[in-house]
Amino acid sequence: MLTLIAAAAAVFVTAAGAAPRVQRNRTTVIGYASKHALREAVADSGGRVVRMLPALHAAEVQAPPAALRLMSGLPGIRYAQRPVARHSLAEPALAPAAVPGGAYEWQYAASREDLVPASVQQAAGALTIAVLDTGADVNAPDLAAKSPATWSVLNNSADVTDHQGHGTFVSSLAAGSSTNGEGVAGFGGDAKLLDVQAARVDGTITDVDSAAAIVYAVDHGADIINMSYGGPTPSTTEQNAIGYAAGHGVLLVAAAGNDGAGTNLPMYPAAFLQPLLSNGQGGVGLAVASTDVSGSPSYFSNWGSYISIAAPGENVFGAISADAGQSAWPRTALPGSSAGLYGYDSGTSFASPEVAGAAALVWAANPALSATDVAAVLKEAAAGNNGVWHSDTGFGRLDAAAAVARAQALLTSPPFVTLSGKRKGTHVDLSWSAPNAASYTVSVSTDGAHARVLQGPTTATGAGYDLTPGHTYSFTVSVPDGYGLHLSSAPYVVGLPQSSATLALKASPTRGRSRVLVRLWASLVPGDSTTARAGRTVRLEAFDGSRWKLFGRAVQTSSTGLARWNVRFPRGRYVVRARFAGTIDLAGATSGGVSIRVR
């Protein structure tokens, strides 16, 4: 049974506006055809011009209320309207406040989300973030503004009422509206939200619930999946679901766990995304640790070789479900907010959706990136660790603005690495290049195994390698691209398929005067019937008591794979064998020994 990582605090604010003051002379906006018409209208109404907008042929005029109807009908006046109200669309939680961090939602500026261009925030609308959790209060202002798609894998319906509260808080951080002028700002800009209820009201979720939710999210258009839950026991079912998502190009993000001050056992699914012992390298997603308001690792946050990156998770601010109990989710009044419930809570559960939201911005900035590219950009753009991995925060703290800038740079000037080669027999000569590369690393994978480094970092642009027949080699060359990423060439594949072979030796002695003439023949049979038998060099060897030596001459096999010798043996004992050393296409083979005794 997997248990959700953390539950949280809350806030509710209702701001009643003061009653408007009654004005005897209110202003009217007049659209005029000419300045003469404007002067006549102002004179007839008994008003005065407060402000001119010449470029728009408009003016704001202060006049008695009854003058509005009068001015609408005057010659040369195109329209006369009362000013209409506009309200700031700034999110109240982002406004400066005398609280730790300088704003209720301090984590937004701490992650430099506030410096991401508006165009990128808007472009994120092409992406969908799926939050797999306890459901969501779809009437919470920041979620309602997104009109989220919903589904419960627990009851097979669209009802995802969040009685627990965890899912609403997580959803608001991942993809809550940042332009509705209410509550908090999600980290995903205009990204669409898919809420999949997979956890029960007590906060528990099984691996099967998790797997079902992952598959549902993938099948219903999710680009990014956030999983703010975990447990110490790995699951094949869940791992297969993660493979299904990765195979469909979906980026997965998960909370790393809240037991860093305790047993600190690795948490799954996070450790499926960034594998154990990987030290932040590779993987199919991101395992997210937590930091506090100062940027330091949170005392509760798990640490270890599976940590990818960190984000604010200690006393962060988010939206609270109206269906969740107030004792579990204390409310915090949010000045400037007129609806919704809000509060504070802590856990890697809340660091994870911030990274998931930032991933949407990175992808929006450069849609050509793959899911693993997006993960790499976020890791390499992280702040604090200067590109060096640490077990507590991975590659560092989330820096959304730096990640977006890097993604855009890759889009406008995509670097590339070329790799070519020439093979002669079992030797291959490789050459490579990349624009402005400072160094190269050459790697090879043999028969599909994990790649190993052959050379590098090196400034050389070519090298030769000897290969062993019977294997397939896949070479790649990678370079650091100047933005912190390691870019790889397309693989150069060399296949040296080799058939197995068997070799049998037989002897037929014929007695002579003083020596015995022995006819020997060896039969070479390839394991693959399509492999040629003719023209293979077979040696006859004899054992001298300590080692095998060439005995007679080497001969070529016939079209049927036979090699023949006629040898006269003096009196004595002999042990002979046939040996084929092997070629590129046919493995070597040695016959059993044949004993010969001449009296």
Residues labelled as active-site residues: 133, 166, 349
Among 87, 49, 54, 53, residue whose Cα is nearest residue 67:
49
Burial readout 422-443 (b: 16 or more C-beta within 10 A, e: otherwise)? ebeeeebebbbbbeebeebbbb
| CA-atom Rg of the chain in angstroms | 37
Alpha carbon dihedral 176, 407, 313, 274, in 10-degree steps, equals 120
501 in helix, strand or coil? strand
Q: Strand, helix or coil at 2?
A: strand
100 phi and psi angles, rounded to 5 deg: -55, 130
**Amino acid (one-letter) located at 586:** L
The Cα–Cα gap between 228 and 347 comes to: 9
Q: Which residues pair with 524 in a beta bridge?
A: 503
H, E, C per residue of 171-204: HHHHHCCCCCCCCCCCCCCCCEEEEEECCCCCCE
End-to-end CA distance of the chain: 81
The three-class DSSP label of residue 93 is helix
Count of residues in the chain: 599
Using the CB atoms, write b or e for 94-119: b if 16+ within 10 Å: bbebeeebebbbbbbbbbbbeebeee
Which DSSP letter does residue 376 get?
A: H
Q: Residue 241: phi, psi to the nearest 5?
A: -65, -40
Torsion of CA 168, 173, 179, 180, to 10 degrees: 20
Residues 104, 83: Cα–Cα separation, whole Å: 33
Q: What is the secondary structure of 222-236 as a DSSP string?
A: -SEEEE-EEBSS--H
